[in-house]
């Protein structure tokens, strides 16, 4: 019997599990302190009315003979796939409903989609970036080349002369730096992928935060992407489904490599290993995508964007360099006083009782940086920023 020894090569715990472990231990030793978390990107606003009404109705249906639903289609109910298809339509993107796969969230699909690829493929992963991309490939022992995301390139790496790779991860709006690729930049990545027969894994989980209509919310708004990209998206950030769990992945039928259709392969993988998302959750997700549901979700997103604006304003007043926050819930800042990321994490926790996410957890280029999120409540964000000003102002 042999175990997967690649687990010995990855950090002992997942970034957000490690942050949570440290915060729990701090809370235990400081029981009278009011700790505010601006760390993990978890939402704080309740679900919108359209979603809760649909959830209640669908749950009640489940208790009736005529409305009961057992196993659903592995790819998701047609009513939700068609709702996602119409949502893409509002961006001017034509996606076939059969290319849409409903899942329990982008994180699972980003990891699971690797089942379709040989372990020898080389992956290109921005550094810093959402740690799931790195950890899942390290678990499989796949060779990784990091794309330097640094201040000089606005934390948005671009294809370079001599670059080689089979799988390319792009996240826009970006986690952790909160910055967004322009159409021209994404076009360059699409052209690169087409030329190298590579596949782009495009993580669009934060697309709902984009307010500038000239910025792309989907890779499929870029010509040629339907031949080289898969898009992972989620209701977590758009509609606060972090606790409900629902997302979708678009695998265009036009995506073919070595004579094999990736859409067909993913369908085969999902029908074998996945039994679908609960019926009431899918009904709630479909309600989110109605005009009424989207308007309600936008109200919540506006609250988060205002939190992010407040964080940005506070950092400006304190003379702290930062980016992000305009089309993203995340603010990416340089640790004051040249502290390293974990040092600043401890300082902020001990001096202000505020939790953030150390930049080094997202990759080596994240060292010396730190991420704060606008997903807190306005009251807590305000309190946290008052404390921040007192300590670092
Ligand atoms: C984050 O904080 O980066 C996200 O919440 C993680 C996630 O969505 O899985």
| pLDDT tens digit sequence for 223-278 | 999 999 999 999 999 999 999 999 999 999 999 999 999 999 999 999 999 999 99
Residues 234 and 246: their CA atoms lie apart, in Å, by 6
**Cis ω for the linkage preceding 169 (within 30 of 0):** no
Question: Which of 187, 261, 185, 249 has its CA nearest to residue 224?
Answer: 187
Residues 209 and 374: their CA atoms lie apart, in Å, by 11
Long-range contacts (CB closer than 8 Å, 24 or more residues apart) made by 90-96: 91/217, 91/218, 91/221, 92/221, 93/218, 93/220, 93/221, 95/220, 95/250, 95/252, 96/252, 96/253
Instruction: Please compute the mean of the pLDDT values over residues 25-54 and round it to a whole number.
Output: 96
**Measuring from atom 4 of ligand 1, which residue has the nearest CA?**
41
CB atoms within 10 A of CB 322: 21
Residue with tokens 């010995």: 8
The preferred substitution site among 44, 103, 107, 130 for testing ligand 1, maximizing ligand atoms within 8 Å of CB, is 130
Task: Check residue 14 and give its pLDDT.
Answer: 87
Q: Which residues line ligand 1 (CB under 6 A)?
A: 40-42, 107, 130, 175
Task: Identify whether the C-beta of residue 276 lies closer than 8 Å to the C-beta of residue 73.
Answer: yes
Categorize the per-residue pLDDT at 315 as very low, low, confident or very high, splitting at 50, 70 and 90.
Answer: very high
Ligand 1: distance of its center to the CA of 237 in Å?
9
Q: Is residue 43 pLDDT above 90, yes or no?
A: yes
Residue with tokens 């390293």: 340
Ligand 1: distance of its center to the CA of 217 in Å?
18
Domains of the chain: 13-42+293-392 (3.90.1150.10), 49-289 (3.40.640.10)
Residues 120 and 125: their CA atoms lie apart, in Å, by 15
**Cis ω for the linkage preceding 173 (within 30 of 0):** yes
Q: Is residue 50 pLDDT above 90, yes or no?
A: yes
Task: Check residue 290 and give its pLDDT.
Answer: 98
Task: Identify whether the C-beta of residue 55 lies closer than 8 Å to the C-beta of residue 378.
Answer: no
pLDDT digits (tens, 9 = 90+) for 56-103: 999 999 999 999 999 999 999 999 999 999 999 999 999 999 999 999
The preferred substitution site among 17, 40, 205, 376 for testing ligand 1, maximizing ligand atoms within 8 Å of CB, is 40
Q: How many residues does the chain have?
A: 393
Ligand 1: distance of its center to the CA of 163 in Å?
29
**Measuring from atom 8 of ligand 1, which residue has the nearest CA?**
41
Q: Which atom number of ligand 1 is nearest to the Cα of residue 176?
A: 3
Q: Which atom number of ligand 1 is nearest to the Cα of residue 42?
A: 5
The preferred substitution site among 17, 175, 308 for testing ligand 1, maximizing ligand atoms within 8 Å of CB, is 175
**Measuring from atom 7 of ligand 1, which residue has the nearest CA?**
41
Residues 393 and 387: their CA atoms lie apart, in Å, by 9
Ligand 1: distance of its center to the CA of 289 in Å?
22
Ligand 1: distance of its center to the CA of 16 in Å?
8
Residue with tokens 């009278």: 32
Q: Is residue 13 pLDDT above 90, yes or no?
A: no
Using only C-alpha atoms, the chain has a radius of gyration, in whole angstroms, of: 21
Q: What predicted TM-score, i.e. pTM, was given to this entire model?
A: 0.96
∠ CA 106-112-184, nearest 5°, is 55
What SS3 state is found at 285? helix
Ligand 1: distance of its center to the CA of 40 in Å?
6
Q: Is residue 12 pLDDT above 90, yes or no?
A: no
Q: Which atom number of ligand 1 is nearest to the Cα of residue 131?
A: 3
Q: Where are the alpha helices (DSSP H) in the chain?
A: 15-29, 49-62, 78-89, 106-112, 131-140, 183-196, 235-239, 262-273, 279-288, 291-317, 341-352, 378-392
Give the chain's mean pLDDT: 97
Instruction: Please compute the mean of the pLDDT values over residues 323-332 and round it to a whole number.
Output: 97
Bridge-based pairing state of the strands 100-103 and 247-250:
antiparallel
Residue 338's region, left for phi above 0, alpha for psi from -120 to 50, else beta, is left
Ligand 1: distance of its center to the CA of 41 in Å?
5
Q: Is residue 334 pLDDT above 90, yes or no?
A: yes
Task: Check residue 351 and give its pLDDT.
Answer: 97
Categorize the per-residue pLDDT at 11 as very low, low, confident or very high, splitting at 50, 70 and 90.
Answer: confident
Q: Kindly give, in sequence order, each residue whose CB lies less than 8 Å from that of residue 3, ignoring residues fewer than 6 positions away.
A: none
């Amino acid at each position: 019997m042999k175990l997967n020894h690649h687990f010995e090569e990855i950090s002992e715990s997942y970034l957000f599990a490690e942050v949570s472990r440290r915060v729990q231990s701090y809370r235990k030793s400081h029981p009278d302190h009011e700790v505010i978390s601006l760390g993990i990107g978890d939402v704080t606003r309740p679900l919108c009315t359209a979603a809760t009404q649909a959830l209640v109705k669908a749950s009640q249906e489940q208790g009736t003979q005529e409305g009961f639903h057992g196993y659903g289609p592995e790819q998701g109910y047609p009513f939700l796939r068609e709702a996602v298809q119409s949502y893409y339509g509002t961006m001017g993107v034509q996606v076939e409903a059969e290319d849409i796969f409903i899942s329990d969230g982008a994180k699972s699909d980003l990891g699971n989609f690797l089942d379709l690829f040989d372990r020898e493929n080389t992956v290109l992963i921005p550094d810093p970036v959402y740690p799931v991309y790195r950890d899942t490939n390290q678990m499989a022992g796949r060779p990784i080349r990091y794309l330097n995301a640094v201040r000089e390139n606005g934390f948005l790496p671009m294809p370079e002369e001599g670059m080689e790779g089979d799988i390319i991860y792009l996240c826009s709006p970006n986690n952790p730096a909160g910055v967004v690729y322009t159409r021209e930049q994404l076009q360059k990545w699409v052209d690169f992928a087409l030329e190298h027969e590579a596949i782009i894994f495009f993580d669009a989980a934060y697309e709902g935060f984009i307010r500038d209509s000239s910025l792309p919310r989907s890779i499929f708004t870029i010509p040629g992407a339907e031949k080289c990209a898969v898009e992972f998206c989620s209701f977590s950030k758009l509609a606060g489904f972090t606790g409900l769990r629902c997302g979708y992945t678009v695998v265009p039928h036009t995506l073919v490599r070595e004579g094999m259709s990736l859409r067909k392969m993913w369908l085969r993988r999902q029908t074998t290993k996945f039994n679908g998302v609960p019926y009431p959750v899918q009904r709630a997700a479909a309600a989110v995508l109605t005009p009424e549901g989207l308007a309600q979700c936008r109200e919540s997103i506006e609250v988060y964007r205002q939190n992010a604006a407040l964080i940005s304003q506070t950092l400006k007043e304190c003379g702290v360099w930062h980016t992000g926050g305009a089309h993203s819930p995340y603010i990416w800042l340089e640790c004051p006083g040249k502290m390293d990321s974990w040092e600043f994490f401890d300082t902020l926790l001990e001096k202000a009782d505020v939790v953030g996410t150390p930049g080094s957890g997202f990759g080596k280029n994240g060292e010396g940086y730190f991420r704060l999120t606008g997903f807190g409540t306005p009251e807590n964000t305000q309190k946290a920023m008052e404390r921040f000003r007192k300590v670092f102002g």
